[in-house]
């Protein structure tokens, strides 16, 4: 690895750390492409930076922290699939376009039901291609072969579409290779959603603490009330533990889908807790549109639903733990 | 070592430990340890065996026998010990962690050369920090030590000394001065519990077991040579002991928690509840929490080794563990159903491995109270890590209150 986690972190902080929350979509997309973030996971022989899961984790935490809009996660899933498609003659050109910022999108909801209808596909109206993953075939379907329907969500940082596939597109993988690739894409989706959630929770907690330190009630800052400090300490503790698990999984190249699903469920639970507490601790202002509290809550709720919810992953984790205990 | 070589070496250690445990782990110890004498014998025998095998003190520095294991090696060892369902070293836990870790940091070479080998030989230590009026508020310690020539004369009472009734030695926090800030008047002594004037009385806990003792000290003489640090430095020395408790010991405990998940799995199957979606989900959520607790303990130790530990980091580890342990033992009670509500004889000894879910659940409160309650940890986290303002110092007691 040519860059350390700290270096990527530094770059991420410079890119989005100083800007306001939920920055402009077009500008952030250009910035993400310019910073080379879409090249991070791509092997060096394909023109990428060949950085591992840690760098990807830093980026998604950064994106979550600033509530960056747009299709960055969907784009990374597509790039991951393209990098694996070594039989595809036009692969190198497609990867180069994708890394340069041409939007290629994918479903964030996941699911391998083989249907020709995809849900939760970000920015499908401006995408040149849509990734289609099933258990026995992974394909990249060009815009001409899809029809898209906008579905307005509560979380405005994602523009989500239903996509109906009307052509076969380019085959990236089939059979066993497709199954393996589907697993890799699902693993990446879960890991990145966990990162986005932990980044968001970190920012929401920092915003809440800053508010408690300045807001006066009953002649003292709210931050002096032990009842509130203890709630902050509980959030800090749960967030630190989930973050430690995130970086530990980032270093385990062989962490399976269930381990990452458990991580994602835990990270989303922490995000939701912090986002809810943020609203409560901000009081009335936290309930308004003009204050950013609601942006965190809405993204936390969406992240919780994408890629399989907590019930789904808790159950699979429980089954796996039962098997391991046998 | 890197990558594959490291993985191979760790796999090798796991196989080695597993084989050693297959040959040496005690069997039927729960059934055998229902009397105090039997419990003590089993604990002493198992500790001696682990010392002999080189597995008793993997967290010690490399210069001591059995020490010098990496964190990754320690974790494997603790997981395998839990998986083999061996008794946790409750009796010697304070000796090998709290006492040894404090001695490594503060004792002179002479003190170390004398005391450390005795720990390996089975000498038992306890901790004399808490008092009737100074639980989590250690600055309030009142047990008094007066220097007379080359020894101190100590008078006072200590409470909540884990295993104090069976111990040989005690890490003792005393007051040598009332001048200046409360913390600056504290001194750290090593007390021989066989000394004249010491009375140890066991305390019955809510499950009927006697894991703690109170110590009464009446004109007890302690040589000045048995002091750690300088006079008045006791607060700083005590922080080492507490930090070992809040951080280092939790590497073992959290790895053992992960190693013991199979006990819940076995219970789910024994109750035929493997298709009960609610139970399976709760088990899954608990297992993710156990993983996160292990990860945060690992991170804490890595930061300590790298010298970037912050005040409050250890509190996060302790709070994570205490809450996860509560969830762990609660699920055990739930799976035990009505049977878990009937009183059954307690296997002497605490932790989550007694085989008695209600006792383990009640014991989990020791973790949310002892060593600085969860509330004290929350204050430390909010003030020291998050940077929130400290409580104002001024207050007045209600008229008529003590």
DSSP A205-235: HHHHHHHHHH-EETTEEGGG-HHHHHHHHHH
Q: Decide if B282 is inside a domain.
A: yes
**Do residues B322 and B218 share a domain?**
no
Measure the CA–CA gap between A256 and B178, rounded to whole angstroms: 59
CB atoms within 10 A of CB B228: 24
**Do residues B186 and B264 share a domain?**
no
**Do residues B309 and B263 share a domain?**
yes
Whether residue A66 contacts residue A17, with contact meaning beta carbons closer than 8 Å, is answered with yes
Average pLDDT score over residue span A198-205? 98
Q: Which domain holds residue B76?
A: 8-89
B 226-285: CB under 8 A from A: 261-262, 264-266, 268-269, 274, 277, 279-285
Mutate which of A232, A236, A241 to disrupt the B interface (most B C-beta within 10 Å)? A241
Give bridge partners of residue B171 from the DSSP assignment.
B127, B190
Partner-chain contact A318 B282, CB within 8 Å = yes
Pairing relation of β-strands A160-165 and A129-133?
unpaired
Boundary of a domain, candidates B89, B112, B147: B89
Helix (H) or strand (E) holding A276: helix A257-282
Shortest Cα–Cα distance, B326 to chain A (Å) = 15
Residue A213, pLDDT > 70, answer yes
**Do residues B224 and B268 share a domain?**
no
DSSP A287-302: GSSSSTHHHHHHHHHH
Shortest Cα–Cα distance, B282 to chain A (Å) = 7
Partner-chain contact A315 B281, CB within 8 Å = yes
A320 reaches B (C-beta below 8 A):
yes
Name every chain A residue with its beta carbon within 8 A of the beta carbon of B290. none
Partner-chain contact B383 A229, CB within 8 Å = yes
3-state secondary structure of A156: coil
The residues near B40 (Cβ < 8 Å, ≥ 6 apart) are B91, B166
Measure the CA–CA gap between A204 and A211, rounded to whole angstroms: 11
ipTM for this model: 0.92
pLDDT at site B325 = 95
Comparing CB atoms, the residue among B269, B284, B291 nearest residue A316 is B284
**Do residues B177 and B203 share a domain?**
yes
Q: Which sequence spans correspond to the domains of chain A?
A: 180-325
Give the residue from chain B lying closest to A205, CA to CA: B386
**Do residues B266 and B362 share a domain?**
yes
pTM of the model: 0.89
Give the CATH number, domain containing residue B315: 1.20.140.10
pLDDT tens-digit map of A223-263: 999 999 999 999 999 999 999 999 999 999 889 999 999 99
Sheet holding A117-122, edge to edge: A117-122, A160-165, A146-151
Average pLDDT score over residue span A180-203? 97
Q: Decide if B339 is inside a domain.
A: yes
Measure the CA–CA gap between A280 and A291, rounded to whole angstroms: 13
pLDDT along chain B (402 residues), means of 10: 76 95 90 80 94 95 94 88 86 92 95 96 93 78 94 92 86 93 93 93 74 88 96 92 74 86 92 96 98 95 86 92 95 91 65 72 86 90 96 72 51
Mutate which of B10, B269, B276, B285 to disrupt the A interface (most A C-beta within 10 Å)? B285
B295 reaches A (C-beta below 8 A):
yes
CATH code reported for the domain at A180-325: 1.20.140.10
Q: Decide if B362 is inside a domain.
A: yes
Partner-chain contact A322 B381, CB within 8 Å = no
pLDDT at site A110 = 85
Q: Decide if B215 is inside a domain.
A: yes
Partner-chain contact A221 B389, CB within 8 Å = yes
pLDDT at site A112 = 60
Regarding predicted confidence, which is higher, B39 or A313?
A313
Number of domains in chain B: 3
Q: Decide if B105 is inside a domain.
A: no
pLDDT tens-digit map of A83-120: 999 899 999 999 999 999 999 999 999 866 667 899 99
Q: Decide if B193 is inside a domain.
A: yes
DSSP B237-249: HHHHHHHIIIIIH
Partner-chain contact A244 B298, CB within 8 Å = yes
> How many CB pairs below 8 Å do chains A and B form together?
134
| Helices vs strands, H then E, count in chain A | 10, 9
A8 reaches B (C-beta below 8 A):
no
Q: Which of B218, B146, B210, B142 is nearest to B182 (CA)?
A: B142
Whether residue A8 contacts residue A51, with contact meaning beta carbons closer than 8 Å, is answered with yes
A184 reaches B (C-beta below 8 A):
no
Partner-chain contact A325 B293, CB within 8 Å = no
Partner-chain contact B283 A326, CB within 8 Å = no
């Amino acid at each position: 690895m040519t860059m350390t986690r700290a270096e990527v972190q530094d770059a991420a902080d410079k890119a989005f750390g100083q800007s306001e929350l939920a920055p402009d979509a077009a500008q952030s997309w250009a910035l993400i492409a310019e910073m080379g973030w879409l090249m991070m996971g791509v092997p060096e022989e394909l023109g990428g930076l060949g950085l591992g899961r840690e760098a990807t984790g830093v980026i998604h935490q950064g994106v979550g922290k600033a509530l960056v809009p747009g299709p960055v996660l969907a784009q990374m899933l597509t790039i991951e699939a393209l990098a694996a498609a070594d039989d595809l003659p036009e692969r190198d050109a497609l990867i180069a376009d994708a890394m340069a910022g041409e939007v290629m999108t994918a479903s964030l909801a996941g699911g391998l039901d083989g249907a020709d209808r995809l849900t939760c596909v970000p920015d499908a109206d401006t995408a040149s291609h849509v990734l289609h993953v099933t258990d026995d075939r992974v394909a990249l379907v060009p815009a001409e072969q899809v029809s898209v329907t906008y579905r307005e969500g509560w979380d405005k940082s994602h523009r989500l579409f239903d996509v109906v596939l009307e052509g076969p597109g380019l085959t990236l993988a089939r059979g066993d290779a497709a199954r393996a690739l589907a697993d890799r894409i699902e693993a990446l989706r879960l890991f990145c959603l966990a990162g986005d959630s932990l980044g968001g929770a970190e920012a929401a907690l920092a915003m809440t603490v800053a508010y408690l330190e300045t807001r006066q009630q009953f002649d003292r800052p709210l931050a002096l009330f032990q009842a509130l400090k203890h709630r902050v300490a509980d959030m800090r503790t749960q967030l630190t533990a989930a973050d430690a698990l995130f970086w530990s999984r980032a270093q385990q190249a062989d962490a399976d889908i269930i381990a990452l699903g458990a991580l994602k469920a835990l990270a989303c639970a922490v995000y939701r807790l912090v986002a809810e507490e943020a609203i409560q601790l901000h009081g009335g202002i936290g309930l308004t549109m003009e204050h950013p509290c609601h942006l965190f809550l809405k993204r936390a709720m969406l992240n919780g639903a994408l890629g399989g919810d907590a019930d789904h992953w808790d159950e699979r984790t429980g089954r796996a733990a039962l098997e391991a205990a046998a | 070592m890197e990558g594959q070589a490291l993985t191979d070496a760790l796999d090798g250690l796991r196989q080695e430990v597993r084989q050693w445990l297959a040959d040496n782990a005690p069997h039927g110890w729960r059934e055998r340890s229902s009397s105090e004498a039997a419990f003590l014998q089993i604990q002493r025998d198992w500790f001696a065996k682990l010392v002999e095998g080189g597995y008793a003190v993997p967290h010690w520095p490399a210069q001591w026998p059995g020490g010098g294991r990496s964190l990754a090696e320690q974790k494997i060892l603790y997981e395998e010990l839990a998986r083999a369902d061996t008794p946790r070293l409750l009796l010697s836990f304070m000796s090998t962690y709290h006492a040894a870790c404090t001695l490594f940091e503060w004792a002179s070479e002479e003190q170390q050369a004398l005391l450390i080998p005795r720990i390996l030989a089975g000498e038992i230590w306890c901790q004399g920090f808490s008092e009737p009026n100074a639980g989590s508020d250690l600055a309030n310690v009142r047990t008094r030590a007066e220097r007379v020539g080359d020894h101190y004369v100590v008078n006072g009472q200590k409470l909540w000394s884990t295993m104090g009734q069976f111990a040989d030695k005690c890490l003792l926090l005393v007051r040598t001065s009332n001048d200046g800030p409360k913390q600056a008047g504290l001194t750290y002594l090593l007390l021989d519990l066989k000394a004249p004037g010491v009375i140890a009385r066991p305390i019955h806990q809510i499950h009927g077991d006697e894991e703690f003792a109170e110590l009464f000290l009446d004109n007890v003489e302690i040589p000045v040579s048995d002091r750690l640090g300088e006079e008045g430095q006791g607060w700083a020395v005590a922080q080492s002991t507490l930090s070992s408790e809040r951080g280092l010991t939790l590497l073992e405990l959290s790895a053992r928690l992960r190693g013991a998940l199979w006990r819940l799995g076995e219970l789910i199957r024994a109750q035929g509840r493997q298709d009960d979606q609610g139970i399976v989900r709760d088990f899954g959520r608990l297992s993710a929490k156990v993983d996160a607790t292990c990860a945060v303990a690992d991170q804490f130790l890595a930061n300590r080794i790298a010298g970037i530990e912050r005040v409050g980091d250890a509190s996060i580890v302790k709070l994570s563990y205490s809450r996860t342990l509560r969830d762990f033992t609660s699920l055990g009670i739930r799976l035990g159903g009505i049977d878990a509500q009937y009183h059954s004889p307690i296997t002497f000894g605490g932790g989550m491995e007694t085989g008695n879910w209600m006792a383990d659940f009640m014991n989990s409160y020791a973790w949310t109270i002892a060593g600085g309650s969860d509330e004290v940890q929350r204050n430390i986290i909010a003030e020291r890590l998050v940077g929130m303002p400290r409580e104002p110092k001024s207050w007045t007691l209600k008229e008529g209150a003590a």
